[in-house]
Structure 1
């Protein structure tokens, strides 16, 4: 088990690059089956989901499109509790099948906000795809169609997730070590 230091904190490997690749491929195969014939629009949430979205899209074999939305709700190692839309959705979503691609779902408040925003644009359907889900932290009921990993309520980084903008480039996912 590898340990890395990011700024003032130590993190240890919790999910290896090989495990991540295997689960991303499995999620893509499920999307390929479920979305055959639909040409879904993947809406990747920046910044955290960009690596997951890229790897996922490379494994999707059906016609699909991708766009990006940026929301902010994190400060340091905790959620600020408020979601601010920074970069909006420019595509016409009317009649489209939309898959929101997120790095991590914790409280569910970001996804609730995204679904409400997207719903005003008359999509045919909206689905959620997340790399990581913290089921014990959910504060709102959500249907999450595609989940690569269910994890405990630990602070994590790597594979697109950060600690104060650091650590996104790590190929594995790391968990904050308790002192």
Structure 2
């Protein structure tokens, strides 16, 4: 039985037209590489992967299938966007992790880092609990949009400062189920 993925060439979401930006094969290949690197870097450390909800759930699931080291998983939920395409500038913690992380190797898993506001908050928040280490793994990084000094240890793809959708990323809670990453199609504006 083969898997069926929702991967159209173009998609309309909340009145905006999007086109493929990073295809499924590119995503799979890069996640496999990240998994290999994480296996090497965290061998014998039993890290805890903490996914940032809602966006990182698909990326985290795929990362988990590409690591072979003993590990755990937990989730946090933050909000800085609401239903908008631009961050509000305020981070709200909607759900904290359940696990105790003191003395643990923590890997924060995020779908996208743009300004760095949320991740800056997360790293500081995790360090308050005295982990052995805190690493950051993000599928996407909008380097030119970054305003906060956040060390990103593992990056899937560096992308320009454009609005993207799919593979867990949403626009007003829609589009997360797309298995590829899409960008607004400026040619059809």
TM bracket, shorter-chain basis:
over 0.9
- Aligned to 1:50, which of 30, 47, 57? 57
TM-score normalised per structure 1: 0.98
Displacement of 1:164 after TM fit? 0.6
Q: Map of 1:18-33 to 2, 5 A cutoff?
A: 18-33=25-40
Deviations 1:51-72 (A, max 9, x none): 0000000000100100000000
Deviations 1:41-86 (A, max 9, x none): 0000000000000000000010010000000011321111111000
The answer for the alignment partner of 1:113 in structure 2 is 121
Displacement of 1:35 after TM fit? 0.5
Gaps spanning 5+ residues in structure 2: where?
1-7
The answer for the alignment partner of 1:132 in structure 2 is 140
The structure carrying a bigger strand percent of its residues is 1
Displacement of 1:3 after TM fit? 1.4
Displacement of 1:7 after TM fit? 2.2
Determine whether 1:61 maps to 2:72. Answer: no
Question: What is the alpha-carbon distance in structure 2 between the residues aligned to residue 57 and residue 117 of structure 1?
Answer: 23
State how many pairs are aligned. 179
SS, match of residue 162 in structure 1: coil
TM-score normalised per structure 2: 0.93
Runs of 4+ in 1 over 3 A off after TM superposition: none
RMSD value, Cα: 1.0
